[in-house]
Amino acid sequence: MADMRWGGWGVDADRVTLSDQVLGLLRQGLGIEPVPTTLAAEQLEVPDSRLPLDVGEALAARLGADQVRTDRDSRLVHVGGKSTVDLWRRRAGDASAVPDAVLLPGSHGEVLAALDVCAEHGVAVVPFGGGTSVVGGVEPARDGFGSVVTIDLRRLARLVGVDDRSMTARLEPGLRGPEAERLLGEHGLTLGHFPQSFEYASIGGFAATRSAGQASSGYGRFDDLVVALRVATPAGGLELGRAPASAAGPDLRQLFLGSEGALGIITEVTVRVRPAPETIHDEAWAFADFATGCEAVRRLAQSDALATVTRLSDAAETAVNLALAGDVGAEGPASSGCLLIAGHEGPAREVDAARAATAAVLDATGARRLDDDVAAGWRSGRYHAPYLRDALLDAGAQVETLETATSWARLSDLYAAVSAALTESLTAAGTPPLVLCHVSHAYPTGASLYYTVVAKAAADPIEQWSAAKRAAGDAIARAGATITHHHGVGLDHRPWMVDEVGELGVAVLRSVKATVDPRGILNPGKLIPPP
């Protein structure tokens, strides 16, 4: 599996550049000017490994010498995730957070063995799947430990088995999205989980962060798909999930779904699978304004008429997407208002019936049907945004995303409050932003809001975004919304965990961690606020 490049998303061959027209709009609208690109990896100063010799020898004895890597390049690849703040650090040449070693276990038993050695010697451990975290979830934080190692799960990358009678599959955590779909496709099956990070994110990461894919309205969030888990902890192993449903006390799977490697390392996931879709049909619809579009999505969700993919952009995001597609100044029904993508997947007869049900609700709310080419353009570029983010950074932009969710009754107020918080913070910094938003996950009781923010990069872009993020996080907390719908907590959202679950809730998490991870070695600094 190819590692992503040091300074951005994907590999060099997939980098994108902005057209002169888009660069002109950035200069005209936001005052953005190009800046130098990131330093090459070979130009960086990488600190020496601080892993004690005896610990390295103990790990090599348990895993094999070839699976304990302390070389410069292996460590550099595992310096963290892919948030914009991560990339600003790399553009400044900061490689100080590299782990002291990278471990490559090949089995559940070897993960347990590695944890046993690290717990005995007080070495912090950071689990690593695809390295796609945008909230600091895979940063090798030492948090008081003398040494920190990354456990890379890439060697645990098998489709263990398929139960076509129960329609489940057993997957190892190191499988990346495309390979998991390829292996399931050989059996005529699909997981149906396609987040924007799909090309590089891993099965274990999907489970550990409660990932939500772009087709969540049809297939469900990843945690909805999990039937069973196998987990390695410093205190031992766990096998969780015996049946489709159980009344045998609280569901312990839920402790590890979303635990972000702070409570254990997921070494196998049993998931519900479905037949690969016979038909995929995407449609585009337009609304006069975002409020009307949100009301339509609410009605779809509450009448069981959501499309497999249901994605509503506000007016600003709709306009920017058209501009990036080369339709700047285009006239017609897609040139204004708010765009809804409705994608249906499944057997042909079921897709026809679902399309009719969705269209009936949309027609009743005044939506206008657009040319299917608009929807086709969305599908062809559905994984494009991270590459575009890197090109915008090259152009001198500050660009980042954040997401939240709330009830339908609070959605309009939350939308306005977060937009205002971002705008006020960045304007006060002398860099007035363009704030874009879309709804991409909807439920009968509420929906998510996903923001993209573009502004001129300040002289200190990390502090510029950190201030805006704090303002947005505080606005989310005041509104009673969740601090994260699917990105996870990591380092970035930990300050709001008390608001999210309360002091007693945080105490419960600390108690669980003390039981499964007595020395606190697992992903320190993430998820759980300190006492």
Catalytic residue among 200, 415, 450, 451: 450
Is 188 part of a structural domain of the chain? yes
Is 95 part of a structural domain of the chain? no
Is 193 part of a structural domain of the chain? yes
What does the block give as tokens for 179?
A: 């390979």
With a CB cutoff of 8 Å and minimum separation 6, the contacts of 515 are 235
Look at residues 194, 202, 48 and name the one whose alpha carbon lies nearest to residue 129: 202
Output the domain CATH number for residue 168.
3.30.465.10
Is 529 part of a structural domain of the chain? no
Shared-domain flag, residues 396 and 378: no
Shared-domain flag, residues 411 and 370: no
Q: How many domains does the chain have?
A: 3
Shared-domain flag, residues 291 and 399: no
Boundary residue ending a domain (275, 291, 311): 275
Residue 482 near residue 414 (C-beta atoms within 8 A): no
Residue 228 near residue 270 (C-beta atoms within 8 A): yes
In terms of residue numbers, what domain contains 288? 279-382
Output the domain CATH number for residue 431.
3.30.300.330
Alpha helix (H) ranges present in 13-157? 20-30, 53-63, 72-77, 84-91, 108-121
Helix (H) or strand (E) holding 375: helix 372-380
Shared-domain flag, residues 235 and 335: no
Is 366 part of a structural domain of the chain? yes
pLDDT tens per residue across all 531 residues of the chain = 688 988 899 998 899 888 888 888 889 999 998 776 666 777 788 999 999 999 999 999 999 999 999 999 999 999 999 999 999 999 888 999 999 999 999 999 999 999 999 999 999 999 999 999 999 999 999 999 999 999 999 999 999 999 999 999 999 999 999 999 999 999 999 999 999 999 999 999 999 999 999 999 999 999 999 999 999 999 999 999 999 999 999 999 999 999 999 999 999 999 999 999 999 999 999 999 999 999 999 999 999 999 999 999 999 999 988 777 654 444 444 456 999 999 999 999 999 999 999 999 999 999 999 998 889 989 998 999 999 999 999 999 999 999 999 999 999 999 999 999 999 999 999 999 999 999 999 999 999 999 999 999 999 999 999 999 999 999 999 999 999 999 999 999 999 999 999 999 999 999 999 999 999 999 999 999 999
Residue type, 287: F
Shared-domain flag, residues 283 and 264: no
Annotation marks residue 450 as catalytic: yes
Shared-domain flag, residues 259 and 176: yes
Secondary structure (DSSP) of 52-89: -HHHHHHHHHHH-GGGEE-SHHHHHHTS----HHHHHH
Shared-domain flag, residues 199 and 224: yes
Q: What is the pTM of this model?
A: 0.95
Residue 81 near residue 137 (C-beta atoms within 8 A): yes
Shared-domain flag, residues 290 and 238: no
β-bridge pairing 368-369 and 309-313: unpaired
Secondary structure (DSSP) of 412-447: HHHHHHHHHHHHHHHHHTT---EEEEEE--B-SSEE
